[in-house]
Amino acid sequence: MNTSKSNSKSKFKQKQNKVELLLLILYVIGFYIFCIHRSLHLSRDHFSKLRGLRIGWLFSPPRLNDASDDQWRNFRTNLPILSLVFGIFTLLANIFRKLFHLRARGMSFLWLFLSLIYLSYLHGAWEYWEYLDNFRGTFRWHICFNLVVLRMISFGYDYHWAHQESRFDQEERNAHINDYSFTTYLSYLVFAPLYIAGPIISFNSFASQLDVPQNHYSIKEVIWYGLRWVFGLCLMELMTHLFYFNAFATSASWKMLSPMDIFIIGYGVINFMWLKFFLIWRFFRFCSLIAGIEAPENMPKCVNNCHDLESFWKSWHASFNKWIVRYMYIPLGGSQRKLLNIWVIFTFVAVWHDLEWKLLSWAWLTCLFFVPELLVKSATNAFQAKGALDGFIFRELRAAGGTITITCLM
């Protein structure tokens, strides 16, 4: 008798979940149809008031393209030369590794040589010595220096732990003590594929892969990874030709819109920013994979699948999050001092980006949102739903909390 009752309850719950899933799918379809339709109308009606629009190449006649974001515009403009340079560099590196059976020491010398050539052009060194002060190069060195600082800290920590024979991080590949050489250190700091934007990789992992190239990705998987990146680039081109989200944000034209339209623009800007960094970081990671160095994935999760601050920050610039966990969070005490650690960590993140009051205020405001979320999470982890109704209410409350989080992010 009890078995039949439990079976009937299980079937009822499965049916309820299917109905709920169907309703959610219909809601999502309706939501995105409305957002896309409204975004097309907003872009068409207000394009004359927006700054940063340029003549595009899609459709006939060509639509305007949203090139208002400086980072994306610079990356998109320099994409052909970057692809050519990294293609040549990785080809040379792989040929030399195969021909001369190079290991860590030889590869560090080779990549140091190639990376210094790359940096000399990138930052404008050796361009007519008499005009050196006036030559600005193609990219400001201090923009990349923030990432170089993280690599310096990584080398220092890993070198210190190597002498202490620390094994607190079992997932991190260990480098041999002989790999902590000045040449390998310099090669790590200026490794060309990861120099501009990362992803960030620890010294231990980098040195071990100089010795033995990564084998986690096969050649077919690396090719498929590159094709997926091309599909993402096509999506970005389509998005910037149809929707001018970032141009609305930079032109301050959104102030004249209705609250619903402001919500749609804000939601569009978040998705544009995610796709922009997704493409930039994956391009450099793809080049690094071809060179035999596997760096962490920076965008492992779509921004629309992050329903709380913790998962958002773990999935946004994930390699930086791993760096923080390894070199700050764990040494500061880990989860035992979580509520205190977030203040130190986010203050460091703000100062690392730039020493500005607006960044510090952003960091501390984020911490203020983080504290109640962590407290609520610790309370809900102890909660056990006693019935189907309790489970349903609990799930809906979590969904409402996720909605508030996404709204605050926008």
Give 6's contacts (C-beta < 8 A, 6+ positions apart): none
Among 197, 170, 154, 148, which residue's Cα sits nearest to residue 328? 154
Angle at 278 between CA 202 and CA 41, to 5 degrees: 160
Residue 292's nearest CA partner among 167, 165, 134, 111 is 111
- DSSP sequence for 135-185: ---SS-HHHHHHHHHHHHHHHHHHHHHHHHT--S-TTSPPPPGGG--HHHH
CA distances from 175 to 87, 180, 360 (A): 27, 8, 36
**How many Cβ atoms are within 10 Å of 390's Cβ, its own excluded?**
12
Structure tokens of 59? 């459709």
Beta carbons within 8 Å of 29's beta carbon, 6+ residues apart:
none
- Are the beta carbons of 397 and 380 closer than 8 angstroms? no
Residues noted as catalytic: 353
Which H or E element spans position 370?
helix 357-381
DSSP 320-332: HHHHHIIIIITTT
Phi, psi torsion values for 65, nearest 5 degrees: -115, 135
Q: Maximum distance among all alpha carbons in the chain?
A: 94
CA atoms of 209 and 103, how far apart (whole Å): 9
